[in-house]
């Protein structure tokens, strides 16, 4: 797989990464541990070098899984993880105080079976801790050799600038896909100006852009999509228009809708690295195939014109969670 660079300090990763959250958290029951480890290791064998996790996924169990899976390949891969919640618990609220960041790091190092974190993200902006203090703390950890690069997640443009002035930000991780294009207005120009990479999560629209979800799909009780307005039965039915648009180009290119969605993101900028997640080996192989799909200028123009005519129905988050982003 081709490589891409995140940030100005040369963080090299595969053009597609693997978002590992869904293996243990967020989209239903955790996958069998042995099978999850096999999936992660298969990704390595197929050229993926960039793996994303967080202490709050589980909490903690996802980091433990990723650590065990990647331990034999540690020097061949880039591991990204995140801090920012009290005791690593999303429900407990934010905590990006310096002491908590250090505690989170030590826990992550142990669970990930490593002596350094390649990319250490603030998971969400903490309104009670100046971003300059967060950046300064991570800067110290970089000097100590425990962290290689600093990242932010779902931060607004002003916050990105303030953090970057203290410690260069290698990457911003936020949602971005064919059906969530808000980053194009302000975030992407800011990242391009500052030389910061972009890591889109949910690049397949939480599975919707694969074309495998419709108004009749039933999610398990633990599935986060049950509370997402965009995934209400009514909105799933209305949003099939988005999928049909993707399918049309996929049929012309003789690839799958998921591969088109990933290729579209890769074609946006050379410093964009999507991190699709999956629990299935065949979906992993399909997603990796998206990195080889080449979209010509005419393809992108046609897709852009078609998407501009489609209205996406429903918010991407319930209101209580939407307050956490874009700070």
Tokens of 104: 């989170």
**Domains of the chain and any CATH numbers:** 3-322 (3.20.20.100)
Considering the entire predicted model, what is its pTM? Answer: 0.98
**Residue 205 has what pLDDT?**
97
**Cα atoms found within 13 Å of the Cα of residue 276, Cβ hemisphere only:** 33
Q: Is the pLDDT confidence value at 25 over 90?
A: yes
**Residue 326 has what pLDDT?**
83
Percent of the chain with pLDDT over 70: 100
Place of tokens 């970089």: 142
Q: pLDDT tier at 265 (50, 70, 90 boundaries)?
A: very high
Place of tokens 């100005």: 8
**Residue 180 has what pLDDT?**
96
pLDDT in tens, 215-235: 999 999 999 999 999 999 999
Query: Average pLDDT in the 41-46 region?
Result: 98
Number of neighbours of residue 76 by Cβ within 10 angstroms: 9
Q: Is the pLDDT confidence value at 61 over 90?
A: yes
Residues in the chain: 327
pLDDT in tens, 134-179: 999 999 999 999 999 999 999 999 999 999 999 999 999 999 999 9
Q: Is the pLDDT confidence value at 320 over 90?
A: no
Tokens of 132: 């300059």
Q: Find out whether 127 and 327 touch, Cβ atoms under 8 Å.
A: yes
> Residue 106, class by beta-carbon neighbours within 10 Å (0-12 exposed, 13-18 middle, 19+ buried)?
exposed
**Residue 108 has what pLDDT?**
98
Q: Find out whether 53 and 81 touch, Cβ atoms under 8 Å.
A: yes
Place of tokens 């869904």: 22
Residues with active-site annotation: 57
Q: Find out whether 154 and 124 touch, Cβ atoms under 8 Å.
A: yes
**Cα atoms found within 13 Å of the Cα of residue 124, Cβ hemisphere only:** 21
In the sheet that holds 117-122, the strands lie side by side as 18-19, 50-52, 78-83, 117-122, 147-153, 169-175, 197-201
Mean pLDDT of the chain: 97
Q: How far apart are CA 15 and CA 148, in angstroms?
A: 19
pLDDT in tens, 71-125: 999 999 999 999 999 999 999 999 999 999 999 999 999 999 999 999 999 999 9
Q: pLDDT tier at 324 (50, 70, 90 boundaries)?
A: confident
Q: Is the pLDDT confidence value at 323 over 90?
A: no
Of 4, 111, 7, 83, the C-alpha closest to 49 is 4
**Residue 284 has what pLDDT?**
98
**Cα atoms found within 13 Å of the Cα of residue 95, Cβ hemisphere only:** 17
Q: How far apart are CA 188 and CA 199, in angstroms?
A: 11
């Amino acid at each position: 797989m081709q490589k891409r660079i995140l940030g100005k300090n040369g963080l090299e990763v595969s053009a597609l990464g693997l978002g590992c959250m869904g293996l243990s958290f967020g989209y239903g029951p955790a996958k069998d541990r042995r099978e999850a480890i096999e999936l992660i290791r298969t990704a390595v064998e197929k050229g993926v070098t960039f793996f994303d996790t967080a202490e709050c996924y589980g909490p903690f169990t996802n980091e433990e899984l990723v650590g065990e899976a990647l331990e034999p390949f540690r020097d061949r891969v880039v591991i990204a993880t995140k801090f920012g919640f009290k005791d690593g618990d999303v429900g407990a609220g934010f905590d990006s105080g310096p002491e908590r960041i250090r505690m989170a790091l030590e826990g992550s190092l142990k669970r990930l079976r490593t002596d350094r974190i390649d990319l250490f993200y603030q998971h969400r902006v903490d309104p009670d801790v100046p971003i300059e203090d967060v950046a300064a703390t991570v800067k110290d950890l970089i000097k100590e050799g425990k962290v290689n690069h600093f990242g932010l997640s779902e931060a607004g443009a002003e916050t990105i600038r303030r953090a970057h002035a203290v410690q260069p930000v290698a990457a911003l991780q936020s949602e971005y896909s064919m059906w969530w294009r808000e980053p194009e207005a302000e975030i992407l120009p800011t990242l391009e100006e500052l030389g910061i990479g972009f890591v889109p999560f949910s690049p397949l629209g939480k599975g919707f852009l694969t074309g495998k979800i419709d108004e009749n799909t039933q999610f398990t009780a633990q599935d986060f999509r049950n509370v997402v307005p965009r995934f209400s039965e009514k909105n799933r039915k209305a949003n099939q228009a988005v999928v049909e648009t993707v399918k049309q180009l996929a049929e012309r290119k003789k690839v799958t809708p998921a591969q088109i969605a990933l290729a579209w993101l890769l074609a946006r900028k050379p410093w964009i690295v999507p991190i699709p997640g999956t629990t299935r080996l065949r979906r992993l192989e399909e997603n990796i195939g998206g990195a080889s799909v080449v979209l010509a200028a005419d393809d992108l123009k046609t897709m852009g014109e078609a998407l501009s005519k489609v209205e996406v129905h429903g918010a991407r988050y319930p209101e209580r969670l939407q307050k956490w982003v874009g700070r």
